[in-house]
Structures are given as structure tokens and as C-alpha cells.
Amino acid sequence: MQVKLLLLCLALPWAAGAQEPAAKGESAYTDRGADTCIKCHDEDSKFPVLSIFKTKHAQPADPRTPFAKLQCESCHGPGARHAEEVPEGQKQAPIMAFGPKSWVPIEKQNQVCLGCHEDQARIAWKSSPHGGNDVACVSCHQIHATHDAVRTATEQPDVCFNCHQRQRAEFDQPSVHPVRFGQLACSSCHQVHGTVAAKLLLKPTLNELCYTCHAEKRGPFLWEHAPVPEDCSNCHTPHGSIHAPLLTKLPPLLCQQCHSQLGHPSIAGTAGGLPGGAPSAFVLSGACLNCHSQVHGSNSPSGVKLMR
């Protein structure tokens, strides 16, 4: 019985967690840290291991960084057994590895990062759509790289589009928020590490988000247009649309989702919405905005019908 239990422990060496002190039969930390590792993982290796030395993680003078602690093993866990020379044709003992293809469960990988980074920005990570759906920190971040694409506005969208295909198509529409050109990033509107707001928005409500950049739409207006303070997405889509500017539909259809044709027709040859009537003075090809130009609200004393 005791023997059986012992074998189980040996078969699951990672079950104890890479960051915890090495248990019996598991690997221990190396004596010389990075120096041991880079004997084999040197400039000749296919994977660019050494570029980490040019990143913020490799600042031994900063006591919070991995290189002020156990160096490579702060992230990769105890590696003494892995670092042992093995006879030709044999494999190195396993070591903590990262990424979606790693043998280590993603939750365990993320725990290593969160060990140092579970601060204000990632306080809601575990309950977020990313944290809750087993997305790895390193599905977005590159650690052994001098340049982390996801934190560069022009390159960030492509990282996201790897998983969010539909949004790729949305940002290819004729009318878009200028994310393609790096003027905005996805992270200008989304807090990808988790928030209390729906859809990972940076602000508690959609309108609060829009007002951060389009402050003039907040008003206050003498004459409000009710659907505007209610929700900008009554008329706009946030990413992209075939109808400029970012409209869900074009007028008159846009407007007539809420406003009846009756009494204010927009189809020629109708009156009160009925066929055969006299032409209406208000038709004008359904261009509601030609007259009601202040669709977001008006501050003119005579702007009650949003015309000025």
C-alpha cells in the first residue's frame, strides 16, 4: 500500500507545483542558476533563450525580478535533474515548460506568472473570460523576446485575431475604429486581464467608455435624444460596419426602428404610410439627417426636434 502511493507521487512530479520546494524524488534547484542552463541553452540553440537578458525580467539589481531570485528557475522551476548530462540518445529529465503545447496544465503555468503579477491589473484574472477559459498568459505575451508584440499598438490586433476571427472580419469593414493603423489598440477599450464590466470593457458601462474619447457626446444637452444617453450601441457598432460612421443601419431604417412612418413618411407616394396619398414634404429620399442633424442632442433653444 505504501509502495503504491510512493509510485504515484513519482509518476506525477509536477503535481506538487513547480514553485514549491522540491519534494523527495523530485528535482532540486541548481547551484549556479542561469550559468548552468546556458551551458546547453546557448546562442546556438534554435529557441532564442538568451534574448531574455535584454528584458525587464533580467534585472538582477531589481529585487522583484526573476533574475534577482532563482533566475531561470524562478519561472521554469527546479531544474537540477533536467540539467544533468544524459547519455547520447536519451532525453533530459522534464522541466516546467510554457505555452499551449506544454505538458504542464495552463492553470499551473499561469500560477507562476501570477505569483509575481497578481496585482491591481490582474486582480480579476481568475474570473475573467480569459482566465476562466484556460487562456495562457503566454498565448499573448512573449517572454524570451526583446519585443512583446501584444504590447505594441500596431501589432496587438494580430495577436488577438489568432483566436478572435470574427473581430478580424469586423475590423476589415469600410467604417472602423482605426485599430488597423495603430491609432487605437484593442486595449484602448478592453482590459484583457479581467474587469467587473461586461465584455472586458475598461469602463463600467459602454457609454462611459465612449465618453472617454468622444466627450462632446456626453452633453449636457438642452434637448436630449433619448437613445443616446441610454446606449450608443442603439445606433453604432464598436468595431466596424459597412455603414459609415459605424452605424448598425443607415437612415431612414436606422431611425424607423423606433420612429413610425405614420405622420412622417419616408416613401414617395404615401401619406400617413398609406399608398396612393399625396407626396410628403418630408420625403427627401429618407434623409432624416438633412433636417434632424443634431441626432446626439441639441443645445439650440429651438432644437427640440433635433434640427439645430
> Which of 26/112 has CB closer to ligand HEC?
112
In the list 13, 221, 243, 254, the residue contacting ligand HEC (rule: CB under 6 A) is 254
Assign 124 to helix, strand or coil: coil
Q: Which residues contact 208 (CB under 8 A, 6 or more apart)?
A: none
Contact region for ligand HEC (CB under 6 A) — 3-11, 145-153, 268-276? 145-153
Taking the least distance from each CB to ligand HEC, the nearer of 9 and 250 is 250
Restricting to residues 267-296, which ones interact with ligand HEC according to CB under 6 A?
Answer: 282, 284, 286-292, 295-296
**Site pattern 19..38 for ligand HEC (x: CB under 6 A):** -----------x---x-xxx
Q: Contact between 135 and ligand HEC (CB under 6 A)? A: yes
Residue 299 Cβ vs ligand HEC, minimum distance, rounded to whole Å? 14
Cα(264)–Cα(262) distance, integer angstroms: 5
Among 141, 195, 273, 308, binds ligand HEC (CB under 6 A): 141
Rounded least distance, CB 14 to ligand HEC, Å: 11
**With contacts defined by CB under 6 A, how many residues of the chain interact with ligand HEC?**
134
Q: Which of 32, 54, 147, 214 binds ligand HEC (CB under 6 A)?
A: 214
Report whether 295 contacts 308 (CB < 8 A).
no
**Shortest approach of ligand HEC to residue 172 CB, angstroms?**
11
Binding of ligand HEC by 106 (CB under 6 A): no
- Residues 177-206 vs ligand HEC: string with x where CB under 6 A? xxx---xx-xxxxx-xx-----xxx----x
153 touches ligand HEC (CB under 6 A):
no
Least gap, CB of 8 to ligand HEC (angstroms): 22
Residue 17's nearest CA partner among 145, 126, 109, 123 is: 109
Strands annotated E in the chain? 175-176, 240-241, 270-271, 274-275
CA distance 166 to 280: 42
Beta-carbon contacts of 78 under 8 Å, excluding residues fewer than 6 positions away, are 18, 22, 26, 27, 28, 29, 30
Distance CA 206, CA 147 (A): 32
Residue 21 to residues 8, 51, 95, Cα–Cα distance (Å): 19, 28, 14
Burial grade of 297 (CB within 10 A; 0-12, 13-18, 19 or more): buried
Among 18, 106, 171, 221, interactor with ligand HEC by CB under 6 A: 171
How many other C-beta atoms lie within 10 A of the C-beta of residue 67? 20
Q: Does 212 bind ligand HEC (CB under 6 A)?
A: yes
State which residue, 16 or 289, has the beta carbon closest to ligand HEC: 289
Please state the closest distance from residue 297 (CB atom) to ligand HEC, in A: 9
CA nearest neighbour of 136 among 125, 144, 151: 125
- Could you say which of 16, 41, 173, 273 contacts ligand HEC (CB under 6 A)? 41
**What distance in Å separates the CA atoms of residue 80 and residue 93, rounded to the nearest whole number?**
9
